[in-house]
Chains A and B, each alone.
Chain A
Amino acid sequence: MTYQTAIAAPAAPLIKPKTSKDDRVMVGFILVICLYLLISLAFPLYAMLSKSFSTYAFDLTNFEFQVNTGDGWSETFSAAAQNEKVQRFKPEDLVTSSDGRLAPTELFPDFSFRSPTLYKLRQVRGDTSFLFKTDRVDDTDWHEYSSNEFRRIVLRASADTGLDNFRTYFSTPALFRSIENSLFISLLSTIITVSLAFGFAYAINRSTMRFKGLFKLIAMIPILVPSLLPGIALVYLFGNQGMIKGLLMGESIYGPIGIVIGSVFFTFPHALIIITTALGISDGRLYEAATALRASRWRTFWTVTIPGARYGLISAAFVVFNLVITDFGLPKVIGGQYNMLAVDIYKQVIGQQNFEMGAVVSVVLLVPALLAFGIDRYVQKKQVAQLSARSVPYVPKPHKQFDRICLGYCSLIAIFIVGLIAVCQYAALIKFWPYNLSLSLDNYNFKVMDGGGWDSYTNSIQLALYTAFAGTIVVFTGAYMVEKTNGFFTTRSSFQFLAMMPMAIPGMVLGLAYIFFFNNPDNPLNSIYGTLAIMVICSVTHFYTVSHLTAVTALKQMDREFESVAASLKQPFHKLLSKVTVPVCLPSILDISIYLFVNAMTTVSAVIFLYSPDTTLASVAVLNMDDAGDVAPAAAMGMMIFYTNVSARLIHQFVSRKMVRRTQAWRGT
């Protein structure tokens, strides 16, 4: 058979591949998880977005009155005309929220509920309503009321769509000033954290100092506690009755100083992980070349080290920036009068019940978060391209003086981290600071405190366990399906997009979006509102991206042809999955579950809007007890979270080691 004869032959039939049963089942799984992400992410966000554009105002032209003061009914006049006449409400007074009510008696300066005057009220169109006592009236008939009845009437606002909420936001200095505050705090914290973390990572990677393992361990502590815990420690150190208040020289810890110090504390490990990785992949051969060229240490640092780590530094900067600007617990505890965006959302929603404005602030907060997320993704792609298979890892040589400086520096950072935790522990054990310094466990008696008592602690454990369990299954299944299915390109790429999205969505924004979506009576899923389930869903979704990426990385290391081999042997995918893929990926699967557990234990922002009196959580209890002035019990509860996460990590390590020995016997032989 030659080429020429083949050309001459008539066109061959086009082939439409038949999908196998496995392919269909797997796509079914993808669609289910897609649906999960739509319901737990896309729809709520859409609900929130539309909420931010919903405006409510009293349409006075739609209400008409007749009055009878004893000498017959007056002419019909509209509420708008009456308002014009008595000059009661300015136009901005008529803008309100979905719950806005307006008493018509306000339009009648002479009104007295004892007077014999009769009132008639009707609506021109049926698209507004008013309440008489608790009855809603939305017809266009005349209704007659005595004065005593008339005072029980309130007009309801009518809904509209528009930019009014945003206009209000940007014309209220108390609100929009938070943007500047948030940006300022985030930038400052980013610069400080990244510099400190870089020094720490540099010392660990490039020196031969002792105690490296210990330092690495200590640096990870902040991940195990809620972000507001350092705030409580700072209050004890520098607050109005602080132990070393004098060090601040009259400045107050409540405000920018406290927020920045606390932010540095809780973002430090995140920055450190990224920068350590970036420094770790640098090529030892470049340093050999620099030495051969007789470049000074200083010059080598600026021409080799910094350029090599620059993507890591940029990436760390964006991660820290994002964490700080979206964090809510810390500024709530130590921010004082200093307003930040995330706290504004809380104040609008919980304090003023103004959900529309909460949605507006959320949208505003999404902008820098999305921006930081986008740039970070872009930078991380570049970083991968920089890796070379032929790189030789850098091996540091002993250098007495340099090692001593590194040791000193890392010790300072370690003291800072351990110190803040120790202060919290101390605070939790002191009877009554600063008057009674005797030690006791009274503060752990959560039964007598606000915040839900020990129930909130057990709730938190439940939440963390469910999140770890359900989340790991959902995430790994999703990642497996999207990595190992053939064809169905559109479905898979839209899934990938959905899986990356949660990283860009601040926890508070997600929580608020859940209120709008799940608390809607028309939503069939309305029943999960106020349960532990909704918080599990929110936590899984909130921490989806990192878990997904971990799973995908592990799956990518598997031979691409396993699925082909299994298909040729006529074995279903679930057999391959259970016998090979899951056992081989077990270390990563355990990593995902501990990540979800620890984060579900510590998160405040994702659940602050979702807990109910029956489902209070430990992290929220810390916040609420602190709010109520029970700072020491708050510290005690924070420490409970810390102990739990430390134990969880230890158990995780023990279990992984045991399971790895059993299932990974093939490794390292």
Chain B
Amino acid sequence: MTEQTGAGPSSEVYLHIDRLTKKFGSFVALDSVSLDVYEGEFICFLGPSGCGKTTLLRAIAGLDIQTSGTVRQADADISALPPSERDFGIVFQSYALFPNLTAERNIAFGLENQKLEKSAVDKRVNELLELVGLPDQGPKYPAQLSGGQQQRIALARALATSPGLLLLDEPLSALDAKVRAHLRHEMKDLQRRLGVTTVMVTHDQEEALTMADRIVVMNHGVIEQVGTPTNIYREPDTLFVADFIGAMNQVEGRANGANGVSIGEMNFTSRNHGLTSDAPVVAAIRPEDIVPQGVGDYSSSDTNLENSLEVEIESMEFLGSFWRVSLKNNALGGATLVADLSINAMRRLEVTTDSRIRVKLPSDRLWVFPPAASA
């Protein structure tokens, strides 16, 4: 499998998860989760701690077998099989490298007693060391390697037996930020080259957004949304997904028709939400979706005035490539909006603290969700 030059996910379902439930005593860690993973796909389970993502991964691996529900891998039912009878390689957060074995012997661990010639094992180990970019580190012990190097050795060990499925349990979270960003790219690249179907668990949204072909957002043991990174980011299905991925302004209001919302004394057009009028809702818009329009008054006849309001700049924060500004308008019922404004826009509008500008909340970027408590 490693020799194949994978070209992204195919449309074949490789891993089929059907109504998986896992209970620990009375606690339901996974509640009837169903999911299809396609061959060659890189999929990320994303969610806060305790959402069930690791439980799902361990069920797929057979390390903690589910209470009910089935798992099919490559058209075979593996639901009840112990890990040793399944086909996967795994990298843990701790890497679990054997401390008394050198890097090459760690990698060779799964290749021994497979009726392979010693020279074949050596060749394969060198190949894998090459693959993860550590051709010279073979004779070193794990303690002599850096965190990033250890992680890559663990990856090489997991790939050594050419498994059909690669499972990654928070593989990058023990590393510092810079190494992490670098390895993210490298791992994704490696996965694409090998074309191995990969499931990664992470709580880091940036990791998920940059690496995954598709993201599975989980919360409280259920899947909130499955989609491509852009899809998850641009079109969140639920308030939880909207809130968990990226920054999001959230303002309490009331539904006003099927595609409108009232916030404080003001009415806005929003995306269609289908909620009954006057129901309490949360209106949400991303900071970068707030469009600055200009300074001063506009005549009421201007069609551009839909969803447009005048705001006062409460505070400004310089974040390098853009400014994050807090906007206030008393008519919004005390709510504050945060907008990310480009350096250009800031210069053009001559924005300073306490100055007033006019901004627009584009209706197709303004979501309305039922509030979290009643969801």
Assess A568 versus B141: contact at CB under 8 Å? Given A6-B33, A580-B98: no
Q: Give the contacting residue for A579; candidates B98, B144, B222, B237; CB below 8 A.
A: B98
CB <8 Å contact, A13 and B70: yes
* Residues of B close to A20: CB separation below 8 A: 82-85
Residue B327 CB within 8 A of the other chain: no
Q: Is A463 located at the chain interface by the 8 A CB criterion? A: no
Determine whether the beta carbon of B63 is less than 8 Å from that of A11: no
In the assembly, what is the distance between CA of A569 and CA of B157, in Å? 9
Q: How far is the CA of A667 from the CA of B99 in the complex (A)?
A: 8
Known: A12-B19, A571-B109, A669-B141. A564 touches B223 (CB 8 A): no
Min CB gap B71→A, angstroms: 9
Are the C-beta atoms of B160 and A569 separated by less than 8 Å?
yes
Interface string of B8-44 (1 = CB under 8 A from A): 0000000000111100000000011111100000000
- Please count how many residues in chain B sit with their CB below 8 Å of the partner chain's CB atoms: 56
Q: Is the CB of A3 within 8 A of B223?
A: yes
A217 to B224, CA, bound (A): 63
Tell me whether A23 is interfacial, beta carbon within 8 Å: yes
Interface residues of A in 633-669 (CB under 8 A from B): 663-667, 669
- Say yes or no: is A583 at the interface (Cβ < 8 Å to chain B): yes
With A6-B32, A22-B84, A669-B143 already in contact, the answer to whether A564 and B90 are too (CB < 8 A) is yes
Q: Which residue of B lies closest to A16 (CB)?
A: B80
Most A CB contacts (10 A, CB to CB) among B69, B89, B237 go to B69
- Inter-chain contact A12/B161, CB cutoff 8 Å: no
* B82 neighbours in A (Cβ, 8 Å): 17-20, 22-23, 567
Given contacts A1-B226, A567-B83, contact A12 B32 (CB under 8 A): yes
Task: Give bound CA distance, A580 to B112, whole Å.
Answer: 14
For the complex, give the distance between the alpha carbons of A18 and B224 in Å. 31
Q: How far is the CB of A656 from chain B (nearest CB, A)?
A: 15
| A12, A562, A664 pick with most chain B CB within 10 angstroms | A12
Q: Which of B94, B163, B223 contacts A561 (CB 8 A)?
A: B94
A13→B32 CA distance, assembly (Å): 11
Q: Does B187 contact A (CB under 8 A)?
A: no
Instruction: Specify which chain B residues have a CB less than 8 angstroms from the CB of A567 in the assembled complex.
Output: 63, 82-84
| In the complex, chain B residues 109-146 whose Cβ is within 8 Å of any chain A Cβ | 109-110, 112-113, 141-144
Q: Does the CB pair A665–B68 fall under 8 Å?
A: no
Q: Are B110 and A7 in contact (CB under 8 A)?
A: no
- Is B20 in contact with A12, judged by CB distance below 8 angstroms? yes
Q: Once the chains bind, are B33 and A665 in contact (CB under 8 Å)?
A: no
A28 vs chain B, min Cβ distance (A): 16
Among A15, A561, A663, contact of B69 (Cβ-Cβ < 8 Å): A15
Residues of the B chain whose Cβ atoms lie less than 8 Å from the Cβ of A11? 19, 68
Look across to chain B and name the residue whose beta carbon is closest to the beta carbon of A14.
B68
Per-residue contact bits, chain A 568-582, to B (CB 8 Å; 1 contact, 0 not)? 111100010001100
Q: Are A565 and B68 in contact (CB-based, < 8 A)?
A: no
With a cutoff of 8 Å between Cβ atoms, the chain A residues found around residue B225 in the complex are 2
Whether A575 lies near B80 (C-beta < 8 A) is no
Contacting residues, chain A, for B34 (C-beta < 8 A): 1, 6, 9
- Inter-subunit contact A565/B161 (CB<8 Å): no
Chain B residue with minimal CB distance to A586? B100
Smallest distance from the beta carbon of B244 to chain A beta carbons, Å? 16
Q: Please provide the chain B residues from 270 to 322 with a CB less than 8 Å away from any CB of chain A in the complex.
A: none
Known: A15-B65, A666-B141, A669-B141. A568 touches B99 (CB 8 A): no
Residues of A within 8 A of B226 (CB): 1
CB neighbours (8 Å) of A669 from chain B are: 141, 143-144
Residue A71, interface by CB 8 Å: no
Number of A residues with CB within 8 Å of any CB on chain B: 41
B249, CB-defined interface residue at 8 Å: no
Select from chain A the residue with minimum beta-carbon distance to B33: A6
Residues of A within 8 A of B19 (CB): 6, 9, 11-12
Q: For the complex, is A135 an interface residue (Cβ under 8 Å from B)? A: no
Q: What residues on A are CB-neighbors of B222 within 8 Å?
A: 3, 6
| B81 in contact (CB, < 8 A) | yes
* A666 nearest CB neighbor, chain B only: B141
Q: Which of B85, B141, B163 contacts A665 (CB 8 A)?
A: B141
Q: Which of A1, A11, A559, A562 has the most CB of B within 10 A?
A: A1
Residues of B within 8 A of A584 (CB): 98-100
Q: Is the CB of A2 within 8 A of B223?
A: yes
B190 to chain A, nearest CB (A): 18
Name the one of A15, A561, A665 contacting B79, with C-beta atoms under 8 angstroms.
A15
Q: A570-B110, A571-B109, A669-B141 are in contact. Are A564 and B70 (CB under 8 A)?
A: no
CB of B256, distance to nearest CB on chain A (Å): 25
Whether B68 and A18, one on each chain, are in contact in the complex, defined by CB atoms closer than 8 angstroms, is no
Residue of A with least CB distance to B158: A568
In the assembled complex, B149 has its CB within 8 A of some CB on chain A: no
A3-B223, A564-B61, A564-B63 given as contacts; is B100 within 8 A of A15 (CB)? no
Give the residues in chain B near A21, CB-CB below 8 Å.
84
Structural contact, A666 and B110, CB atoms closer than 8 A: no
Task: Find out whether the CB atom of B67 lies under 8 angstroms from the CB atom of A568.
Answer: no
Task: Give min CB distance, A85 to chain B, whole Å.
Answer: 74
Q: Which of A7, A20, A569, A575 has the most CB of B within 10 A?
A: A569
Query: Are A14 and B67 CB-contacts (below 8 A) given A565-B96, A580-B98, A666-B99?
Result: yes
B residues within 8 A CB of A565?
90, 92, 96, 157
Q: Are B83 and A564 in contact (CB under 8 A)?
A: yes
Complex: A633 Cα to B98 Cα, angstroms: 53
Query: Closest CB-CB distance, B245 to chain A, in whole Å?
Result: 17
Q: Find residues 554-611 in chain A having any chain B CB closer than 8 Å to their own CB.
A: 559, 561-562, 564-571, 575, 579-580, 583-584
Contact A568 B68 (CB under 8 A): no
Q: Which residue of A lies closest to B237 (CB)?
A: A2
Contact A559 B94 (CB under 8 A): yes
Contact present for A666 and B65 (CB under 8 Å): no
Identity of the chain A residue whose Cβ is nearest the Cβ of B160 in the assembled complex:
A569
Contact present for B66 and A15 (CB under 8 Å): yes
Q: Would you call A18 and B81 a contact (CB within 8 A)?
A: yes
Q: In the complex, A207 Cα to B20 Cα: how many Å? A: 61
Please name all residues of chain A whose beta carbon is closer than 8 Å to the beta carbon of B142 when the two chains form the complex. 666
- CB neighbours (8 Å) of B80 from chain A are 15-18
In the complex, what distance in Å separates the CA atom of A583 from the CA atom of B102? 13
> Bound state CA distance, A7 and B21, in angstroms?
11
Q: Which one, B65, B84, B98, B158, contacts A570 given CB within 8 A?
A: B84
Q: Are A664 and B100 in contact (CB under 8 A)?
A: yes
B268 on the interface (CB 8 Å rule)?
A: no
C-alpha gap A473/B223 in the complex (Å): 48
B68:A569 contact, CB within 8 angstroms: no
Partner of B100, one of A2, A559, A666: A666
> With A14-B68, A559-B94, A580-B101 given, is the CB distance from A1 to B88 under 8 Å?
no
* Chain B 155-172 near chain A by CB (<8 Å), digits 1 or 0: 001101101000000000
Query: Which of A9, A15, A663 is close to B32, meaning CB atoms less than 8 Å apart?
Result: A9
A102 to B157, CA, bound (A): 80
Contacts of B65 on A, CB cut-off 8 Å? 15, 17
Report the separation of the CA atoms of residues A129 and B69 in the bound assembly, to the nearest whole angstrom: 69
**Cα–Cα, bound, A664→B141 (Å):** 10
A435-466 contacts to B (CB < 8 Å): none
B82, closest chain A residue (CB): A20
Task: Show 21 residue pairs from A and B whose CB-CB distance is below 8 angstroms, ordered by the A residue.
Answer: A6-B33, A6-B222, A12-B68, A15-B65, A15-B80, A18-B85, A20-B85, A22-B82, A559-B94, A562-B98, A564-B61, A564-B63, A564-B83, A567-B84, A568-B83, A575-B113, A580-B100, A584-B100, A666-B141, A666-B143, A669-B144
Q: Taking A20-B84, A580-B98 as given, write out 20 further A-B residue pairs in contact, using a Cβ cutoff of 8 Å, ordered by the A residue number.
A: A1-B36, A2-B225, A6-B32, A11-B68, A15-B80, A17-B62, A20-B83, A568-B84, A569-B109, A570-B84, A575-B112, A575-B113, A579-B98, A579-B101, A580-B101, A666-B141, A666-B142, A666-B143, A666-B144, A667-B143
In the complex, the 9 A-B pairs of residues with the closest C-beta atoms, listed nearest first = A569-B110, A20-B82, A12-B19, A666-B141, A561-B96, A567-B83, A17-B65, A12-B69, A567-B84
Name A's B-contacting residues (CB within 8 A): 1-3, 6-7, 9, 11-23, 559, 561-562, 564-571, 575, 579-580, 583-584, 663-667, 669
